[in-house]
Amino acid sequence: MSVNSRRVRAIVRKDLRDFRRNRSLAVGMAIIPVLFCVQPLVTVFTLDPAAAPALGHEHVLLYMLGIPALVPTFVAAYSVVGERQQGTLEPVLTTPIRREELLLGKALAALLPSLAVAYVVFGLFLAGVKLFAASAVASALIRPPDLLAQLFFTPLLAGWSIWVAILISTRSNDIRVAQQFAVLASLPSIAVTTLAGLSVIRVSLVAGLVAAAALLLLNWIGWRVVSRLFDREQLIIGTR
Partner 1 sequence: MSDCGRCFEPGIARGPIGPYGDDVGMFGRGGPGRRRVEPEGSEPLPSPGSPSPPGERLGSSRTGTSALSACALSKRFGDRVAFCDVSFEIGHGEVFGFLGPNGAGKTTTVRTLGTLIAPTSGSATIAGMPLTPENGVEIRRRISIMPESPGLYLRLSVVENLECFAELYGTPDPTDNIDRALRAVNLVDRAGDACGTLSKGLRQRVALARALLSDPEILFLDEPTAGLDPVAAREVHELIVALSRSGVTIFLTTHRLEEAERLCDRVAILNTTLRTIGRPAQLRDQLFARTLTVKTLAPLGDPGQVFGGLPAVDGWRQTGPVAYVLTVSDAAVAAPSVTRALVKAGADVLSISESHHSLEDVYLELIDEDETMRAG
DSSP 98-133: -HHHHHHHHHHHHHHHHHHHHHHHHHHHHHHHHHHS
- The one among 91, 144, 202, 204 contacting partner 1 by CB under 8 A: 91
59 versus 106: smaller Cβ distance to partner 1: 106
10 versus 216: smaller Cβ distance to partner 1: 10
The letter for the amino acid at 235 is L
- The one among 38, 48, 87, 144 contacting partner 1 by CB under 8 A: 87
For residue 13, state whether it binds partner 1 (rule: CB under 8 A).
yes
Minimum CB separation of residue 117 from partner 1 in Å reads 20
- Piece in contact with partner 1 (CB under 8 A), picked from 70-78, 91-99, 195-203, 204-212: 91-99
- The one among 176, 228, 232, 240 contacting partner 1 by CB under 8 A: 232
Rounded to whole angstroms, the Cα distance separating 230 from 161 reads 17
For residue 88, state whether it binds partner 1 (rule: CB under 8 A).
yes
- Piece in contact with partner 1 (CB under 8 A), picked from 69-77, 142-150, 151-159, 232-240: 232-240
- The one among 17, 130, 176, 240 contacting partner 1 by CB under 8 A: 17
CB neighbourhood size of 188 (10 A): 12
For residue 182, give every residue at least 6 positions away whose Cβ sits within 8 Å of its Cβ, in sequence order, or none: 73, 74, 76, 77, 161, 164, 165, 168, 169
Give exposure, 26-39, as e/b (b: 16+ Cβ within 10 Å). bebbeebbeebbee
Report the alpha-carbon angle 232-238-240, nearest 5: 95
- Piece in contact with partner 1 (CB under 8 A), picked from 49-57, 81-89, 112-120, 149-157: 81-89
4 versus 173: smaller Cβ distance to partner 1: 4
CB neighbourhood size of 133 (10 A): 22
For residue 95, state whether it binds partner 1 (rule: CB under 8 A).
yes
The footprint of partner 1 (CB under 8 A) covers 4, 6-7, 9-11, 13-14, 17-18, 21-22, 86-98, 232-233, 236-237, 239
